[in-house]
Amino acid sequence: MSAVKYTRDHEWVKIEGNTTTVGITDFAVQELGDLVYVELPVVGDEVRAGDRLAAVESVKAASDVFAPVSGEVVEVNEALEDEAGLLNESPMDEGWIARVEMSDPKELDALMERAEYDEFVKEATH
Amino acid sequence: MLELRKTPLYEAHVEAGGRIVDFGGWALPVQYTSILEEHRAVRERAGLFDVSHMGEIHLTGPDAMAFIQHLVTNDCSQMQVHQIVYSPMCYPDGGVVDDILVYRVCENAYWLVVNASNTDKDYEWIVRNASGYDVTVKNISSQVAQIAVQGPAAQTILQRNTNCDLDSIKFFWCAPETMIAERKCLVSRTGYTGEDGFEIYCKPEDARLIWDTLLESGRTDGLIPAGLGARDSLRFEAALPLYGHEISQDISPLQGNLGFFVKLGKSEFIGREALAAQKEQGLGSRVAGLELAGRGVPREGYPVVAEGREIGRITSGMFSPTFSKGLAMALISTEYARPGTELAIDIRGKAVPATVVKTPFYKKAYRKE
């Protein structure tokens, strides 16, 4: 069983036990346009929810990706180093950015479900 | 977005799915489908740009040429009818008011084509400096729309829609009263992409017809509409300066690598003394090209460091679509500006190695013959 939750900064978190996979949403990718570079975190990094986890860069601009939860980075998607375009092609799957071992699962309660996130996006773009 | 100004092609951009942004008060598309795709189309085939936001200032009168010589740093005195000259226009202290194109549209009338966001400032500056000259200055920007068709296929596409023999228009020359899609236009072989191409000046009410006709006619050649994003990445690779970045009120044309367009030996012009003094005393800093050796993307404002201290800042930087690497133009201390010099760029607190390289990054063989 896995669940996916969303942040107001347009990250998604897939939850499998204590391990989370983090990426940026389809909406974020559409807004950013062609992504050309991703700065990944380093395995072993300790992050706190709200810290900068990674950076994604389009032709036009650099944008921070924030850690949705606190914990330790246990894996990063190295495929993005050579092919940032994976983020455009498959933001919710092959374009995942990092896996974080949660230190405080209660933080998930602050995140949104998909329906809530869709509503949030609708309001933000209105 | 309610107060943004719209070009006559605004509806066309919306219908084509263009992502509209506020560009200096104008509602213009930053992209239609993808900046990378639009960039490649212009490098390999052709792209169509709405540049109607650009300003046009009309000068006429017996002293028009003498006045232009007073205003700009380049020497326009040898301009022939229908010729075009690029030039910075400076303040007395050598800072740049704007960089402009001077079109000699007929014997005694000139168009100054200026940056959109500078149009009002330029017009005021020009009028303020016109006293003592028998010249009439008019801001005709709202009566002129502009479409640029750029790329290796540009001429083939445009030729299908005009009786004018485009081979007769050389690089930096224009042909007024050219019929395109049966509408009267001024056409010049100019552009801001580093590719061969044309800029078409027309009446606002004719812009949509010309736009649609060219797009339809060029479809089989791979012509697509291109937005501001590609315009910027294309001009960047060609190292064409952008006002407010490589030149500005605080960055002189000499510092901005435009020394070729500053003719200190011609007659008097605004800024001449200051620029001559700069040249004499040394520039302190100037714009240089940088190529990132490590991973990352250099961005405007990032510090450039050498020997542990900041020696300048990036003025424009991006991940180059043509070369697939991080490239930048940066205003740096002249002692570090020689090609081959090893530097670093501070990217989010990390010093990433970079090398000074010659500009332009991208060079196309223009048709000049």
B244: left (phi over 0), alpha (psi -120 to 50) or beta: left
pLDDT cut 70: percent of chain A above it: 98
Are A59 and B233 an interchain contact pair (Cβ–Cβ within 8 Å)?
yes
Q: How far apart are CA B30 and CA B13, in angstroms?
A: 10
How does pLDDT run across A41-62, given as a tens digit for each residue?
999 999 999 999 999 999 888 9
Per-10-residue mean pLDDT for chain B, 369 residues long? 87 97 95 96 98 98 97 97 98 98 96 97 98 98 98 98 97 97 97 97 98 98 97 97 98 97 96 98 97 93 96 97 95 97 95 97 69
Give chain B positions within 8 Å (CB) of A81.
Answer: 295
In chain A, whose CA is at the least distance from the CA of B230?
A59
Tell me the shortest Cα–Cα distance from A122 to chain B, in angstroms: 17
How does pLDDT run across A3-41, given as a tens digit for each residue?
999 999 999 999 999 999 999 999 999 999 999 999 999
Helix, strand, coil percentages, rounded to 5, for chain B: 25, 35, 40
Which tokens sit at A74?
A: 């246990």
Are A34 and B318 an interchain contact pair (Cβ–Cβ within 8 Å)?
no
Tell me the shortest Cα–Cα distance from A71 to chain B, in angstroms: 22
Are B229 and A39 an interchain contact pair (Cβ–Cβ within 8 Å)?
no
Tell me the shortest Cα–Cα distance from B19 to chain A, in angstroms: 9
In chain A, whose CA is at the least distance from the CA of B319?
A59
In chain A, whose CA is at the least distance from the CA of B30?
A60
Residue B68, Cα to own-chain centre: how many angstroms? 19
Are A60 and B295 an interchain contact pair (Cβ–Cβ within 8 Å)?
no
Helix, strand, coil percentages, rounded to 5, for chain A: 25, 35, 35
| Segment A64-72 mean pLDDT | 97
Are A34 and B36 an interchain contact pair (Cβ–Cβ within 8 Å)?
yes
Contact B129, B176 (CB under 8 A): no
Nearest CB to A62 within list B30, B37, B299: B299
CB pairs under 8 A between A and B: 43
CA-based nearest residue to A87, from A122, A44, A35? A35
Contact B115, B55 (CB under 8 A): yes
Q: Quick one: which H or E segment has residue B114? A: strand B109-114
pLDDT score recorded for residue B185: 98
On the question of pLDDT at A124 being above 90, the answer is: no
B17: left (phi over 0), alpha (psi -120 to 50) or beta: left
Are A37 and B36 an interchain contact pair (Cβ–Cβ within 8 Å)?
no
CA-based nearest residue to B73, from B204, B250, B223, B252? B252
Give chain A positions within 8 Å (CB) of B319.
Answer: 36-37, 57, 59
Contact B133, B78 (CB under 8 A): no
